[in-house]
Amino acid sequence: MKKRLGISYTKTNFHNYWNWFTIHDLQNDIQLVELSFEKNNTEDISTCDGFILTGGIDIEPSFYDASSSYANAPDEFQNERDLFEKTIFEYSQLYQLPLLGICRGMQLINVLQGGKLIQDLGALNAIHKKEEIDKEHETIVEDNSLLREITNASSGKINSAHHQAIDKNTLGKNLKANAYTNADHKTIEGFEFNDKSGKGFMLCVQWHPERLIGKEESPFSKKIKERFLQEIRKTKMEKISIINPATEEIITTLNEDTPQSIEEKFQLLKKAQPGWASTTVKERIKCIKKFVSLLDEYKDELAKTLTSEMGKPLHQSYNELNGAKAKIQFFIDNSQKWLEDEWITTEGTTKEKIVYEPLGVVANISAWNYPYLVAINVVIPALIGGNAVFYKPSEYTILTGMNIQKLMYESGVHEHCFELAIGRGHVGKALLELPLNGYFFTGSYKTGKFIAEQVAHKLVPCQLELGGKDPLYVMDDVEDIDKVAAAALEGVVYNNGQSCCAVERIYVHEKIYDEFVKSYVEQAKKLIVGDPLNESTEIGAVSRKEQVEFLLHQVEDAKQKGATVLLGGKKINGKGYFIEPAVLINVNHDMKIMKEESFGPITGIQKVKDDEEAVALMEDTEYGLTAAIYSKSFERAEKIMMQMNTGTVYWNCCDRVSAALPWSGRKHSGLGSTLSYQGIRAFVQPKAYHMRG
Ligand code: NAD
């Protein structure tokens, strides 16, 4: 895989930086990437193995606590650029990736390290300031410096095109000058890290190597370029490709987090959390309100990204975003009430109250099937409760995770209070090794059990939202069989069947069984499977390649044990992970399709002779997420609802979640509740106040 060199976009002569790298330099193993503050393509930063911060307009002086009125100040600054490049700098440091700062790039790094700038060189502009063409002068290189090692020169000709410079009296933290202007021996021409331990390659120069006269020969251009590219070639980031399941194309390839970057992000979260907790609930809710408005503002690109990385039909991605907004509204409307101090005793000598304090820094390790909805159950109440969140999106929806982070910060959530852990399972595992104050997981039983075991000794809250094998029972008294069959079918196939509370098995009273099956199959036949971007598509691609094989295996297993496949159940040939929705009858509980979570658009329909048999089969499962009963009679349905060992029961509906009700699984479906007032209180801890006097 090619290494990627990100070059920050500048309005002044960007092509010079780009063209500095010839085909010969890049060979076939390095690719250039434009990182543009104008396009705000921050997600591309995470694909790069090295960076150049380029020259250009003066840095906004508030970055180094200085006034914006000074000689030769520009008419306007580019604050977005400063912030965008700050992100690049921080990224390079977090992952120890090679960095080259040129002119303004060097000045930015200095101020980001706490240094100051000489705002205008005044008389020295005669040597340095660009007029028609670059000024040329000599530089002296410090002994024992990286620059000296690279150029193998103690002095040489460089160019000059700046009116600001590094203030040598207030050089940034851990920086040491490595070159000065010969003529005045005052102006710093380059710097590097003083203590390089634990740091990646970093070199900064005040001149412009990319356009130096004689750059093909000069060590102050050629050697620097050669060494910088060598350093990029040496990097060893673990990569993860984001694949579009409908086309099998690679959307992008991202760097995964490393044990060091996870540890550093944790330190940043820990440091930032108390400041966030010291704001009022009202202030935090204000940020969340803004987040909701941004979800709306960017809905088109958010929906497209979601569909492209996990394959659900585009209209369902819009539905998910709308559902997310509605859920968040519940937290906006109710958090204040459930988080404020609760007075218990206001009379007598001893007053008593309960204060709800944040847990601290909590992890949310999440699934891919509804990345907005499942993240929101945790991250919104956690943030409103004053926690900082270490959010690990699933490796199948990282781009959506990045979008969530971008919007969180745009909404005013404090810097470093919402960090992402990017990567596969081993990155999630690294979170378990940190001393976090709570673990909130959504995913499979297998991973959930592992997490619970790993963090048990920490004695911190650990909540699990896991899988299900949710039954739906149709009683013989239902009035409109077609309508019930339509509801059941939607419960099975919505979101390509990849919902934790999807209907996974159907039981039908023998009196209406034939009619139900006929209606179900007829309706299932009409489902449109195909390109998830098409408006008419009802079933897109399943998200993971292995899942196709897994589903085909369940169908095959059932067939071998005597089931009849009435419809579908085959892989659709061509590109993409598509499977025909399947309907199986003559099924029983020896078959995997009736016992193991399918997570796809397939289901078995089993005939039952009475309610008692239905209950026995519905309860014959290790899971306990939801159970649905369709009947005209609530009394009859309720008798069954009471016998279900599940967190949720439905009468005449299914596959639904309400923000006002607790969302919880029993047995292998989970531990603890999110949503409702319980899901607000889950992210805080009570402190009892006993007050006398
Ligand atoms: P998964 O368990 O494979 O992965 C979930 C997350 O855990 C991912 O971010 C993954 O990277 C991480 N992970 C994997 N191994 C890890 C390890 N050893 N340590 C720490 N983290 C690790 O699940 P999935 O395939 O992403 O999600 C599908 C499952 O989630 C289904 O079973 C579904 O029913 C369930 N789910 C449940 C709910 C609910 O509310 N109950 C909601 C959505 C999904």
Q: Please check whether residues 207 and 280 belong to one and the same domain.
A: no
Counting every residue, how long is the chain? Answer: 693
- 251: phi then psi, degrees, rounded to nearest 5: -75, -45
Whole-angstrom distance, CA of residue 129 vs CA of residue 638: 83
Q: Could you tell me if residue 251 is inside a domain?
A: no
Q: Could you tell me if residue 530 is inside a domain?
A: yes
Whole-angstrom distance, CA of residue 615 vs CA of residue 631: 14
Q: Could you tell me if residue 255 is inside a domain?
A: no
Pocket of ligand 1 (CB under 6 A): 365-369, 374, 392, 394-395, 424-425, 428-429, 432, 442-444, 447, 450-451, 465-468, 500, 597, 599, 625, 665, 670
Tokens 């139900």 belong to 516
Q: Which two tokens stand for residue 597?
A: 């979570």
pLDDT at 417: 98
> In DSSP terms, which residues pair with 180 in a beta bridge?
140, 188
Q: Please check whether residues 223 and 332 belong to one and the same domain.
A: no
Whole-angstrom distance, CA of residue 596 vs CA of residue 482: 27
pTM confidence score = 0.95
CA of 447 to the centre of ligand 1 (A): 6
Range of the domain at 630: 470-657
Q: Please check whether residues 603 and 644 belong to one and the same domain.
A: yes
Q: Please check whether residues 462 and 474 belong to one and the same domain.
A: no
Q: Could you tell me if residue 250 is inside a domain?
A: no
Describe the chain by its helix, strand, coil percentages, rounded to 5: 40, 25, 40
Q: Could you tell me if residue 115 is inside a domain?
A: yes
Residue to mutate (ligand 1; options 309, 310, 420, 444; most atoms within 8 A of CB)? 444
CA of 468 to the centre of ligand 1 (A): 12
Q: Please check whether residues 456 and 490 belong to one and the same domain.
A: no
* Residues sharing a CB contact under 8 Å with residue 36, sequence separation 6 or more, in sequence order: 8, 9, 84
- Looking up residue 220, the CATH number of its domain turns out to be 3.40.50.880
Q: What's the alpha-carbon Rg for the chain, to the nearest Å?
A: 30
pLDDT at 45: 98
CA of 238 to the centre of ligand 1 (A): 21
Q: Please check whether residues 230 and 286 belong to one and the same domain.
A: no
- Looking up residue 489, the CATH number of its domain turns out to be 3.40.309.10
Whole-angstrom distance, CA of residue 687 vs CA of residue 383: 19
Q: Whose CA is nearest to atom 15 of ligand 1?
A: 425
* Distances, alpha carbon 584 to alpha carbons 164, 475, 524, 546, 613, in Å: 74, 19, 12, 21, 19
Q: Please check whether residues 348 and 479 belong to one and the same domain.
A: no
Whole-angstrom distance, CA of residue 565 vs CA of residue 569: 8
630 contacts 621 by C-beta, under 8 angstroms: no
Q: Which two tokens stand for residue 527?
A: 């489902």
Q: Please check whether residues 628 and 484 belong to one and the same domain.
A: yes
Q: How far is CA 366 from the centre of its chain?
A: 9
Q: Whose CA is nearest to atom 12 of ligand 1?
A: 425
> Pick from 234, 252, 274: which residue ends a domain?
234
CA dihedral 64, 65, 70, 72 (to 10 degrees): 20
Pairing of strands 135-141, 175-181: antiparallel
- 357: phi then psi, degrees, rounded to nearest 5: -105, 150
Tokens 């503002």 belong to 297
Whole-angstrom distance, CA of residue 47 vs CA of residue 52: 14
State whether residue 127 is helix, strand or coil. helix
Q: How far is CA 264 from the centre of its chain?
A: 17
- 426: phi then psi, degrees, rounded to nearest 5: -65, -25
Q: Please check whether residues 74 and 141 belong to one and the same domain.
A: yes
pLDDT at 186: 81
pLDDT at 133: 80
Instruction: Work out which ligand 1 atom sits closest to the CA atom of 377.
Output: 40
Whole-angstrom distance, CA of residue 177 vs CA of residue 191: 4
Whole-angstrom distance, CA of residue 593 vs CA of residue 590: 9
Residue 579 has a CB neighbour count (10 Å cut-off) of 26
Instruction: Work out which ligand 1 atom sits closest to the CA atom of 597.
Output: 32
Whole-angstrom distance, CA of residue 564 vs CA of residue 461: 46
Q: Could you tell me if residue 204 is inside a domain?
A: yes
Q: Please check whether residues 414 and 542 belong to one and the same domain.
A: no
Q: Which two tokens stand for residue 41?
A: 């393509």
Q: Could you tell me if residue 144 is inside a domain?
A: yes
Q: How far is CA 439 from the centre of its chain?
A: 17
Whole-angstrom distance, CA of residue 506 vs CA of residue 626: 13
* Distances, alpha carbon 522 to alpha carbons 297, 457, 496, 608, in Å: 40, 53, 18, 21
Percent of the chain with pLDDT over 90: 97
Give per-residue pLDDT as tens, 167-190.
999 999 999 999 999 877 689 999
Q: Which two tokens stand for residue 564?
A: 């009849």
Tokens 């590109």 belong to 575
Q: Please check whether residues 277 and 146 belong to one and the same domain.
A: no
CA of 20 to the centre of ligand 1 (A): 45
Q: Please check whether residues 379 and 400 belong to one and the same domain.
A: yes
DSSP string, 486-500: HHHHHHHHGGGG--T
Whole-angstrom distance, CA of residue 617 vs CA of residue 603: 15
Residue to mutate (ligand 1; options 242, 394, 499, 550; most atoms within 8 A of CB)? 394
Q: Could you tell me if residue 309 is inside a domain?
A: yes
- The total of structural domains in the chain comes to 3
- Looking up residue 290, the CATH number of its domain turns out to be 3.40.605.10
pLDDT at 693: 86
**Residues designated as active site:** 465, 500
Phi-psi region of 49 (alpha: psi -120 to 50; beta: other; left: phi over 0): alpha
pLDDT at 280: 98
CA dihedral 282, 283, 285, 287 (to 10 degrees): 170
State whether residue 73 is helix, strand or coil. coil
* Residues sharing a CB contact under 8 Å with residue 117, sequence separation 6 or more, in sequence order: 59, 64, 66, 107, 110, 111, 164, 165, 166, 167
Whole-angstrom distance, CA of residue 308 vs CA of residue 297: 19
Phi-psi region of 4 (alpha: psi -120 to 50; beta: other; left: phi over 0): beta
Q: In which residue ranges of the chain is pLDDT below 50?
A: none
CA of 43 to the centre of ligand 1 (A): 23
Residue 412 CA neighbour count, 13 Å, CB half? 14
Residue 344 has a CB neighbour count (10 Å cut-off) of 12
Give per-residue pLDDT as tens, 596-647.
999 999 999 999 999 999 999 999 999 999 999 999 999 999 999 999 999 9
The identity of residue 151, as a single letter, is: T
**CA-closest candidate to residue 140, choices 152, 158, 155, 150:** 155
Q: Whose CA is nearest to atom 28 of ligand 1?
A: 443
pLDDT at 530: 96
